[in-house]
Structure 1
């Protein structure tokens, strides 16, 4: 009998209990799924970084911590966590949700839909948008989410350039990497999508110098992490017209403070961290598969590289 501790906020337990039990039942393992347990009896921790579990040292029997979030920046630096840490990679739910959100907002900016949705002066300007192949899109971050979004946009006809810290090869995407590659990826892009993790190396990666590389009037879409953007630099670029619009789903402080300039700026769209989320049914299957692997002495999947921070 293995003990699986669900360590997240209480309202998440109501959403996850039944899906997790179904997924664990399918593994054929004998298990006890609990929200409270003596730490020394716990084999696996199904974890959200905002849970009350912050000191992992008492969990002397634990074989792995299985994160429910795609982001691990709030746990990866925890020195008390020494067992394997897996991040949530849920292609069925989390990835699909991100692909839909990013595609929708890229098309919104590409087609200029805002001018027709909100048109109080009843302006009649019969000018169609260019076709997708004339609208270069750059995606910073070519992990599971960035690759999936890029490939969907490429299938729609957009010329997609992707950038990552290390070299990648992804069908349909021009892949660049390294410092020189970053400047090349940004230069002339008309739509920029940010899907990098939040690490010291990506802090304010979108700064004044890099905003200046984009095509004049470019749109920025950030469903990745708030600290990727230098807020002051973005506001200045919006005011100058270098950036035509920013659609932001993530912020340095959340909820976004009511007095933050993003709320009032006419060329900023604020969405409340809804680009995608972990879906209990599909995420539970990901968690259960890692537990099955642990009990079968097979390698865990989606392990976090502690040095890289993701």
Structure 2
């Protein structure tokens, strides 16, 4: 029996995803009819992105699951019309791109690359010597798939890594803390902080003035998670006072970041345009195909969202 899959992830993504998805469905042995225009009552599975044009899931009564193309689900998890199981995207392309982006910016700040990249003025600055990685404490806020992968990679580079999450986790060679008390301990004297928690009511403004004050003076803040996890005013104040030495930000409360936002002109801020981790069609298509295969076989979906937790 043919499985009807509605692609509701935006017209701009359709040409990029159509062939990888059809190839993945064929590879999984699935008989799938996929398009961007299927009557709601005939849809078996829905591939979703927040800008894909669907906000009311009530008509999709036959739909067995809504499968997100993004790692974050804060735009949909609270939708009262969503009665279907919801899965989020976790794939090797997303993970590897995040690990590479985070590692690059951690190393950039650790070894002080900016001093030499921007200091091409004839001055021989050989007296500036960074500590070894073993003497540079790094804290990762959020130990989901992406945070855990980044923590492992940085640990392998020799950094002493502390990871914090809402619930208890265990990662080899990473000091794992959790809960409210664990958060303050994880931040205290950290020299580099990477923010990778999911965005929920509990993690909005996670890095506020008090918590930024716990960091080692001159610490670096790197945020490829969600913009609302940082109190912007508090971060700007910490940058101006020297409590934070530099902030590298990939995500923002409003995107694209408005041209008049103070981050653009601040000498201690690097803005990147939400590029740290992008879903890759080839690898994500295989995850979607596997989840549809599981749904048809009566097996549990992978990366099922816990509505009560918000991720």
TM range (shorter): over 0.9
1:224 matched to 2:225? The reply is yes
Tell me how far apart the structure 2 counterparts of residues 116 and 31 of structure 1 sit (CA, whole Å): 54
Aligned partner of residue 79 in structure 1, secondary structure: coil
In the TM superposition, 1:145-224 aligns within 5 A as 145-224=146-225
Distance 2:18 2:122 in 1: 52
Q: Partner of 1:175: helix, strand, or coil?
A: strand
* 1:93 maps to 2:98: no
**Structure 2 stretches of 5 or more lacking a match?**
none
Quick one: distance in 1 between partners of 2:121 and 2:50? Answer: 48
Q: Structure 1: how far apart are the matches of 2:120 and 2:155?
A: 34
Q: In the alignment, does 2:88 pair up with 1:74?
A: no
CA offsets per residue over residues 76-115 of structure 1, 9 Å max, x none?
111111010000011x200000000000000000000000
The Cα shift of 1:120 comes to 4.4
SS of residue in 2 equivalent to 1:213: coil
Aligned to 1:111: 111
What secondary structure, in the 3-state scheme, does the structure 1 residue paired with 2:237 have? helix
Q: Deviations over 1:251-291 (max 9, x none)?
A: 00000011110001000000000001000000000000000
Give the TM-score normalised by the residue count of structure 1. 0.99
Instruction: Quote the offset at 1:163 in angstroms.
Output: 0.2
**Residue correspondence of structure 1 range 29-68 to structure 2 within 5 A:** 29-68=30-69
Say which SS state the counterpart of residue 46 (structure 2) adopts: strand
**Unpaired runs of 5+ in structure 1?**
none
Q: Distance in 2 between matches of 1:197 and 1:30?
A: 35
Structure 2 distance, partners of 1:199, 1:179, is 15
Distance in 2, Cα, partners of 1:196 & 1:245: 20
Q: How far 1:42 sits from its partner (Å)?
A: 0.4
After TM superposition, which residue ranges in structure 1, 4 or more long, deviate above 6 angstroms? none
- Aligned residue number for residue 261 of structure 2: 260
Residues paired across the two proteins, number: 309
1:130 CA drift (Å):
1.1
Shift of 1:123: 2.8
The 5 Å alignment of 1:254-293 reads 254-293=255-294
Root mean square deviation, CA, Å: 0.7
Give me the whole-angstrom Cα distance separating, in 2, the residues matched to 1:93 and 1:227. Answer: 25
Instruction: Measure the CA separation in 1 of the matches of 2:96 and 2:249.
Output: 19
